[in-house]
Amino acid sequence: MSPRLVRPLVWPLVAPPRLVYHPSVRPLVGFSLIGCVAAGALLMAAPPPVPPHLDGPAARWVTETLEAMTLDQKIGQLIVPSFRSTYLSSDSESYDELVSLVHEQHVGGFLLFGGREPVPNVLLNAGYSRSVLGQPLAAASITNRLQAISELPLLNSADFETGVGFRLTGATTFPSAMAFGAAGDDRLAFEAGRITAREARALGIHVNFAPVADVNNNPRNPVINTRSFGEDPAAVGRLAAAYVRGLTEGGMLATVKHFPGHGDTDTDSHLGLPLISHPRARLDQVELPPFRAGIEAGAAAVMTSHIQLPSLDPEPARPATLSYPIVSGLLREELGFDGLVYTDSMRMRAVTDLVEPGEAAVGAIAAGHDIVLHSPDDPAAFAGLKQAVEDGTLTATRVDTSVRRVLEAKARLGLHRNRSVSFDTLPLVVGTRAHLGVATEVSRRGMTLIKDERGDVPLTVPRSASVLYLSVLDYPSGWGNGAPSRTFLPALEERWLNVTAVEVSDRTSRAELELVRASVDRYDAVVASVFVRTASFSGRMDLTRDVADLLRAVARRSAITERPFVTVFFGNPYAATFLPELPAMLLTYDFYDLAEDSAVRAITGQASINGRLPIALGDQFPVGHGLTRPGR
């Protein structure tokens, strides 16, 4: 007997709230904007907060559904494949593949990604970005169609660390977690979580793989970095807990990651298996407290990491993903966590270099996970798990325990009653001006001035002054979601009549760099924006020596001529430690339009500067350091 199909419903369409806020207008009272957002939320249909426990009907649905499920259906609930959120016809091979996963593998849900474009695999100039943002209406269309053909409601997830706009165009994008750390306000973290949940649920996405609870205390961490709230465990735990509460209030399941802590690594787990060799006492003191805080705040899920920790599991080259002592021993038994445990993407080389997809899936469930996420071969993962149950490697009780957790999560969200979303409601919720206003507030308050030895901030040269703008890139390729300086440069040109812009990177020749250096004296002021990424799979997080030497030369020359020189760092804040000669340095912890606009407002005095370092930058700039400037 198959579980009864519950007919999908939709959220009702209601009129949008009238909003008078504009992002360029600073609220008169610090949180009048957030009050506006909360008031607007009451006027629109929204999913209720996630309840801590199931009510009677929901509990009965879980029990009755589990009892009626076949082995294939149970195995499928443990597997979450992915889809891309660009337009997808129902009459296409790609859609047929998704249908097969629902009908043949009985998958428990899907992981949403943005889009992807084909690029040539060429030498010398292989710098094209494959990634593009998806579209909200396309995403909602796909989730609705997949829900309609699935016997059981699907529990859909996404990595919305910086908001739904991280994956989908037009949705709200918040600054990085480290910018929240610099702003230091729990209420902003809560509100970001609540807004993200509202927008995600409007698309049919129920689980957010956020917040990052890792404590980033390794300046050479190539994969966490600004994704962390900072390096102080207490502050990271406080902000992570606030974000968890915001997601829960908005009707979404929160996931703390990457357990038991990915912050002190210098290896990208997309490329290899990182090793954390600290003793257990250090883990209890630094890495684990934020996870405890997130769990206590109501996190419904935990995502583990593809890292090895000999102090927790002495087996050589065994990642936490496959470790019973870490998942079942530490997380389940010691920390008492009984919610969903997801693997990280099983396509990362820290796992794929070790085991085949079917074996990896069995190992992850045997270790104590409930869900195998983003396997490189979902049918193989399904076959491996089924064979493991049939030959006794996995017991039926072990599988039933995880399936029950999955069903309970679906019931807590009310998916047994209502699994579809409304296309009419979506534009009223996703990407509103009020939501953007909160993101703008976070960005503005996260700006951190760490040095201004000549008093160049705010920059007060006359409007008629000639300004040299240096857009300094780590490397020019891979900027798929927006070219660097596309907002910063026009904003400078609005303020000064004579701006000359030059872009330099690792592709700029020494002769060209020398030409830039020789021209510095022609200008009344120099502004530099430094863009350094810590992108997954890149293995890079620095400027080249020649480009860094150019900035040092400009600093020396500007000191002699007494001309203002201000540098803004976008992305990796640790890059500032390699350029101590620069006279004025502002950190944004982020990229793209919002950060660029906030930075211009900060260095020109249009906005106050109050951010505080959530990390230490060598001995000179400790945690909590930051210069303040009043805005005008």
Give the range among 118-122, 412-416, 471-475, 534-538 with minimum mean pLDDT.
Answer: 534-538
Mean pLDDT of the chain: 91
Does pLDDT of 91 surpass 60?
yes
The answer to whether 247 and 196 are in contact (CB under 8 A) is yes
What pairs with residue 33 in β-bridges?
A: none
Backbone dihedral angles phi then psi of residue 362, each to the nearest 5 degrees: -65, -45
Q: For residue 25, what pLDDT is reported?
A: 31
DSSP code of residue 168 = B
Separation CA 322–CA 344 (nearest Å): 11
Contacts of 93 (CB under 8 A, 6+ apart): none
Assess if CATH 3.20.20.300 describes domain 32-78+155-434: yes
Confirm whether 32-78+155-434 and 447-603 share one CATH topology: no
Separation CA 202–CA 318 (nearest Å): 39
Q: For residue 628, what pLDDT is reported?
A: 98
Q: For residue 535, what pLDDT is reported?
A: 61
Separation CA 394–CA 396 (nearest Å): 7
Average pLDDT (224-234) is 96
pLDDT tens per residue, range 315-339:
998 999 999 999 999 999 999 999 9
What pairs with residue 472 in β-bridges?
A: 504, 530
Fold annotation for 447-603: Rossmann fold (3.40.50)
CB atoms within 10 A of CB 397: 7
> Per-residue confidence at 479, pLDDT binned at 50, 70, 90?
confident
Separation CA 407–CA 400 (nearest Å): 10
Give the range among 232-246, 283-297, 471-485, 598-612 with minimum mean pLDDT.
Answer: 471-485
Largest Cα separation within the chain, whole Å, is 84
What residues are annotated to the active site? 270, 344
Q: For residue 584, what pLDDT is reported?
A: 98
Domain positions in the chain are: 32-78+155-434, 447-603
Does pLDDT of 41 surpass 80?
no
Q: How far is CA 40 from CA 23, 45, 244, 437, 558, in A?
A: 16, 10, 21, 13, 50
Average pLDDT (248-256) is 98
Q: For residue 121, what pLDDT is reported?
A: 84
Average pLDDT (61-87) is 98
Average pLDDT (74-85) is 98
Burial of 608 (0-12, 13-18, 19+ CB in 10 A): middle
Does pLDDT of 31 surpass 50?
no
Q: Which long-range contacts (CB under 8 A, 24 or more apart) does 512-515 make?
A: 513/546, 513/547, 513/549, 513/550
